[in-house]
Amino acid sequence: MNIKEEERRARLLKSRAERLPDIKKQFEEAQKRNFNSNFGPGGKDEKLVAAKPAKKAAKPAKSAKAPKAQKETAKSKAKTEAEQRKVNLSVNTKKGEMVHHQRMLSQDVNAQATQHIIGVPVNKSRYNGYGGEQITNAKLKSMRPDPDSVRIIPIGGVGEFGIGKNMTIIEYKSEMIVVDMGVLFAGEDYPGVNYMIPDIKYLEDNMAKVKAICFTHAHLDHIGACRHLLPKFSQFVPIYGTDFTIGMIKKQMSELEDVPEMNYIAVEPLKHEKIQVSEHMSVEFIHTLHSIPGNASIVVRTPNGTIYLSGDWRHEENPIERQTDYERIDEIVKNEGIDLMLNESTNIDSPGHHPHSEFDVGDNLGKVMDHYVNGRVIISCFSSQIARIGLILKEAHERGRKVAFSGFSMINNVEVALRAKAIKVPKDTIVKMEDIVKLPDEQVCIVCTGSQGEMNAVLNRMVTGAHKYIKIKATDTIVFSSNPIPGNEPHVVNTVDGLLREGAQVIQNGKTHLTNIGPLHLSGHAYYEDHVDFVTRLHPTNYLPYHGEFYMLEHNAEMAENVLGIPRERILVSDDGDIIEFTKDKKIRKAGRISVGNKLYDDADQPVHEAVVKDRIHISREGIFVIVLTLNKKTGHLMKTPDIVSRAFIYLDNSEELIGKIRHYLRQKTDKSISTDPEMKVLKEEIKEDITHILFDATGHTPIVIPVINKV
């Protein structure tokens, strides 16, 4: 080793020594952090963390100032008594193995059940506002808010798993505007949970500040949480949206038991009205195109500048609906400029422009009707695709087919669309389901839900024969006028397979080469090049990607910097709960966090507690095992053979040997416990641990074990 190398090593050691206190501090901080609450003090798995519990149990004695000697004797007495009650389990596995299994399981369950929890998320993106340096809680606390800034706070909709739960607050001094209140569908990681809504504690603490609630459009990821959240607001707060959007919200609210009186105000975007919602802020709705009627973006004028919230949008050269109000957008850009643009990110990963229009989809649906002229045509699409439904009605009418709608949301949406005049219906085309089945097959067209393969939706019920009016037959043609949402693919496959088994013809979007008919769907969100064009058009000073998972936000930010040349410090990839300050000198910066989160609901709209989700996951993996012991109150003897219940674990009839072993153990255990007469809680805990060990030894699993002891 030469001198140079030695020098280098010495330098390294020195710098490490200098950094050591810091590293140690960081390590201690990390130790303090409660990564897995189940293992923490008071957590349900606290016991699993080594043998500490015994010590802790003795602690209260100390606080009671018991003499040391006495405490020691009590401790050793309890120990010897426990020793006396010990039963030889005759197992081959060590207890440590079981504890390890339990710990791993608990970690898995926690990881699965807490994906929705938003604390201080990891965000080392170079667009995080701090050059990629992670912001700590301490740093956040030390940040001084700028009282003159406009604050933009995403409560939901950015960087989560799955797009949804969109909700944003714009705040200035004591005035707040809320934009959208969406749901997020939970997915299979959350057994028994249907959807999640944003936790709006921050708003609940600031109710008096809320001056207006605005909705961009009526998709559920923007209005789905209304029935839970709107009733919390004052009935005087104005609720703005277009006619169709307000109609959909009212419909949703009408399903509540107590329908609250709310202050709904329908807006006509083409009037370009500046609605002064508070002393310092106004909103203007701008008509934009998406895959639902009454879609809008929102311009918020604040003392610090003009903010453009894109909502959801797509660009079409040849739209069915009225074209996006580009004239108005251009006017605002020219006269005022856009100081901050919030832009959705859904399809940022789709290259190019939209290759076709909604008209092409309509034509192709007509082609299907021509091609399969003798049979029924059943078209499945999203129930909010009102323009497409309008096209289906037209194509069907031209071919002498009648149309019936099936599916709760489908019928609801069409009703609202009719009332809001968002759909044109050719005369004598719509008939009721019960009437259409009486017509000859070649005159039948059915529009239904279930394009995502949902188990209980119409299409699957038609396959299984559970549908009241329709059973799929070999002459039917089923069109999937949609794409599977990521995660739903296996369900869609399942539905398609079921249809094919019945001999039906299935035509799916994206599989044009099979039938030569397509495209049959048009996504509602702009593609990459559409974003490039549109953001160029708006020329915003600051840019905030939203409505997307983290990678989408990141890719959107990259586009803004690399393609459009927006400086990096004017782009922010943020997380739910971040407070983004838009300052007087028109800069954006992250300055603190509010507490945000999710509330879970089941399909009966009832809240589901996180602990319940964890139990469900645990049970789904390992099962549950209940033992019922009946002891004689006086003698402590077992009065009868213990009852054993196993659910989602082992099938008892096939497990006689194991059950015999457990019964033998329980007899020994209760006999040995008579002389020491332990507290019920202690005995239960010991039995639980032993049984878990026996079960783990026999099966490699640790179900939830519940001992029940009755004394009679």
- Contact residues for Zn ion, defined by CB under 5 A: 219, 221, 312
Q: Which is nearer to Zn ion, 177 or 220 (CB)?
A: 220
Least separation in angstroms between residue 394's CB and Zn ion is 24
Least separation in angstroms between residue 345's CB and Zn ion is 10
With a CB cutoff of 8 Å and minimum separation 6, the contacts of 81 are 676, 678
Q: Which is nearer to Zn ion, 278 or 345 (CB)?
A: 345
Q: Which is nearer to Zn ion, 162 or 426 (CB)?
A: 162
Least separation in angstroms between residue 312's CB and Zn ion is 4
Q: CA–CA separation, 193 vs 608, rounded Å?
A: 7
Answer for the pair 186, 602: CB distance below 8 angstroms, yes or no: no
Answer for the pair 178, 214: CB distance below 8 angstroms, yes or no: yes
Look at strands 377-380 and 477-480 and give their pairing. Answer: parallel
Q: Which is nearer to Zn ion, 184 or 694 (CB)?
A: 184
Least separation in angstroms between residue 180's CB and Zn ion is 8
Strand order of the β-sheet with 444-448 is 402-406, 444-448, 377-380, 477-480, 505-508
Q: Which is nearer to Zn ion, 39 or 185 (CB)?
A: 185
Answer for the pair 246, 216: CB distance below 8 angstroms, yes or no: no
User: For residue 479, which amino acid is it?
Assistant: V
Least separation in angstroms between residue 545's CB and Zn ion is 14
Q: Which is nearer to Zn ion, 171 or 221 (CB)?
A: 221
Least separation in angstroms between residue 548's CB and Zn ion is 9
Q: CA–CA separation, 235 vs 300, rounded Å?
A: 23
Least separation in angstroms between residue 547's CB and Zn ion is 6
Least separation in angstroms between residue 130's CB and Zn ion is 28
Q: CA–CA separation, 545 vs 529, rounded Å?
A: 16
Least separation in angstroms between residue 611's CB and Zn ion is 31
Q: Which is nearer to Zn ion, 182 or 642 (CB)?
A: 182
Q: Which is nearer to Zn ion, 384 or 692 (CB)?
A: 384
Least separation in angstroms between residue 646's CB and Zn ion is 45
Distances (CA, A) of 656 to 212, 652, 667: 66, 7, 16
Q: How many residues does the chain have?
A: 712
Q: CA–CA separation, 395 vs 364, rounded Å?
A: 10
Q: CA–CA separation, 320 vs 323, rounded Å?
A: 8
31 alpha-carbon distance from chain centroid:
30
SS3 (DSSP) at 672? helix
- For 14, half-sphere exposure in the C-beta direction (CA atoms, 13 angstrom radius) is 6
User: For residue 485, which amino acid is it?
Assistant: I
Q: Which is nearer to Zn ion, 213 or 404 (CB)?
A: 213
Q: What are phi and psi of 485, to 5 degrees?
A: -70, 140
Q: Which residues pair with 266 in a beta bridge?
A: 241
Centre a 10 Å sphere on the Cβ of residue 42 and count the other Cβ atoms it contains: 7
Answer for the pair 288, 311: CB distance below 8 angstroms, yes or no: yes
Q: Which is nearer to Zn ion, 171 or 312 (CB)?
A: 312
HEC states along 513-581?
Answer: HHHCCCCCCCCCCCCHHHHHHHHHHHCCCEEEEECECHHHHHHHHHHHHHHCCCCHHHECCCCCCEEEE
Q: Which of 33, 92, 171 is nearest to 661 (CA)?
A: 92
Least separation in angstroms between residue 295's CB and Zn ion is 7
Q: What are phi and psi of 618, to 5 degrees?
A: -60, -50
Least separation in angstroms between residue 602's CB and Zn ion is 23
Least separation in angstroms between residue 15's CB and Zn ion is 50
Answer for the pair 289, 298: CB distance below 8 angstroms, yes or no: no
Answer for the pair 436, 402: CB distance below 8 angstroms, yes or no: yes
Q: Which of 34, 188, 192 is nearest to 612 (CA)?
A: 192
Q: Which is nearer to Zn ion, 109 or 183 (CB)?
A: 183
Q: Which is nearer to Zn ion, 182 or 592 (CB)?
A: 182
Q: Which is nearer to Zn ion, 157 or 305 (CB)?
A: 157
Distances (CA, A) of 489 to 349, 454, 486, 492, 695: 19, 11, 7, 5, 37
Q: Which is nearer to Zn ion, 518 or 524 (CB)?
A: 524
Cα(first)–Cα(last) distance of the chain, in Å?
82
Helix (H), strand (E) counts: the chain: 22, 26
145 preceded by a cis bond (ω within 30 of 0): no
Furthest C-alpha separation in the chain:
97
Q: Which is nearer to Zn ion, 312 or 610 (CB)?
A: 312
Least separation in angstroms between residue 218's CB and Zn ion is 8
32 alpha-carbon distance from chain centroid:
29
Least separation in angstroms between residue 422's CB and Zn ion is 15
